Structure 1
């Protein structure tokens, strides 16, 4: 019996070893500036699958953004964590992060260009079905993803994790193509209740399909386990919230299953 089972066991071991998330750094250019993104996908899945763009926090394209890309790949998607700042631009202090962020968010045409370049890298990967794409963003990346949806980005969905919801130019009816899902912390001073209410009124007035979940007691960066360390080092109102992190990720998975059906 063993000699009949052995080939089967060996084939299963080989298949298990092969069915892993593949990752690679990819450098690309936007005009004269070089950027470094991070691609993740499961090469054991045959055929094309939806693609998800990951937009990083104000600290820059770091290990956290890459981890989220890997988690998405493990769910069966191809994920690309783009770079909004440029190769090697990582902040280790809030003042540097703020300067990097303002240089990008203060120039809407450049922000669109960098976002679209990352989206193109995702769409052009042979494993991605170009007609099935979404973007997720954290903090600054959430605000950027939302603003790209407001600008009419060709996406099926956008998921905002503790990102800014404010805008000086409320969206007009028919402008948003993506369905929007927002997760925010009720105790986040960077996204106060007035901003949340204004966002909901904006979406409803424009007829945008959206959902918003506000977690009682959750502070800014509630999905990032490194938030507590940042809070202690820089005396910032940040805190990781495991329950909110887990719930928002579960809801995102259901959202993707529905919009990509």
Structure 2
């Protein structure tokens, strides 16, 4: 009987140890209240690798939370950034487009919100010199802005994100390694913008890679996007799985762990 109790308590202890939970974190940009989420790695190590997650244009969603939990199981600290802040969360796609458009145009404000979220990731336990930024859609644009803004990150990953920048902005050297995961049939990313992005990468002599996924359109990682490619945004299970595997390869290469 005692042995049985010992086994039960031992199994319970292991289960608790192997489960990490997302915790809400309130922080600020001046007077603007921001509400993010942090999660610690299931198994910690001395290198303390961290991943900052930038959500899509509707703000923090199930995909960003699920991703944070998956990364925790792989041994990473993770933090989900709140770019918009209290009182500014979009109620629909129309509002989301307007608010996201503001940050795309005012990229320095976007970079500042990303920097503040990086501070929270570090406060959660990640090493300041061992961080990667990843983002989805609008967040993918933000990941590239983290690289363009010379934030202290080892690499950035954009999933079906906007790739362009204002042609009047100067092209500066990029030191962060870059991975772009792109739907081959994404109708929302013009070929001109893709060409311009690739030229930017070559001109800056960046360490970059861009992977195209067949039969995938915009938002291919998000199960909540439906599966109708004709709508321009749809989930593609195979592309989602492949892109996550490519993310893991990138993280293993870029971060100390």
Q: Does structure 2 conserve the Cα–Cα contact (< 8 Å) formed by 1:222 and 1:242?
A: yes
**CA distance in 2 between partners of 1:209 and 1:100 (Å):** 31
Structure 1 residue 47: Cα displacement: 4.3
Structure 1 residue 87: Cα displacement: 2.4
Q: Does structure 1 conserve the Cα–Cα contact (< 8 Å) formed by 2:42 and 2:73?
A: no
- Between 84-93 and 144-153, report the one with greater CA deviation: 84-93
- Between 81-90 and 176-185, report the one with greater CA deviation: 81-90
Q: Does structure 2 conserve the Cα–Cα contact (< 8 Å) formed by 1:180 and 1:210?
A: yes
Structure 1 residue 81: Cα displacement: 0.3
**CA distance in 2 between partners of 1:191 and 1:179 (Å):** 22
Deviations 1:117-163 (A, max 9, x none): 001110122x3122100100000000111022012111101000000
How many matched pairs?
Answer: 254
Deviations 1:102-123 (A, max 9, x none): 2322222321211100011101
- Between 161-170 and 179-188, report the one with greater CA deviation: 161-170
Alignment correspondent of 2:238? 243
Alignment of 1:70 onto 2:69: yes
Alignment of 1:171 onto 2:171: yes
- Between 28-37 and 55-64, report the one with greater CA deviation: 55-64
Q: 1:96 to 1:236 in 2, by over 3 A?
A: farther
Alignment correspondent of 1:114? 113
What TM-score do you get using the length of structure 1 for normalisation? 0.89
Give 1 or 2: higher strand fraction.
1
Alignment correspondent of 2:140? 142
Q: 1:176 to 1:223 in 2, by over 3 A?
A: same
Alignment correspondent of 1:58? 57
Q: 1:17 to 1:138 in 2, by over 3 A?
A: same
Structure 1 residue 256: Cα displacement: 0.4
Structure 1 residue 48: Cα displacement: 5.0
**CA distance in 2 between partners of 1:170 and 1:203 (Å):** 13
**CA distance in 2 between partners of 1:130 and 1:199 (Å):** 28
Q: Does structure 2 conserve the Cα–Cα contact (< 8 Å) formed by 1:85 and 1:104?
A: no
Give the aligned CA root-mean-square deviation in angstroms. 2.2
What TM-score do you get using the length of structure 2 for normalisation? 0.90
Alignment of 1:213 onto 2:204: no
5+ long unaligned stretches in structure 2: none
Structure 1 residue 193: Cα displacement: 2.6
Deviations 1:219-241 (A, max 9, x none): 10000011128x79xx9411111
Q: Does structure 1 conserve the Cα–Cα contact (< 8 Å) formed by 2:43 and 2:73?
A: no
Q: Relative contact order (C-alpha < 8 Å, sep 6+): which is higher?
A: 2
Q: Does structure 2 conserve the Cα–Cα contact (< 8 Å) formed by 1:19 and 1:42?
A: no
Say which SS state the counterpart of residue 42 (structure 1) adopts: coil
Alignment of 1:228 onto 2:226: yes
Alignment correspondent of 1:7? 6
- Between 105-114 and 247-256, report the one with greater CA deviation: 105-114
**CA distance in 1 between partners of 2:220 and 2:42 (Å):** 31
Say which SS state the counterpart of residue 134 (structure 2) adopts: strand
Structure 1 residue 67: Cα displacement: 1.8
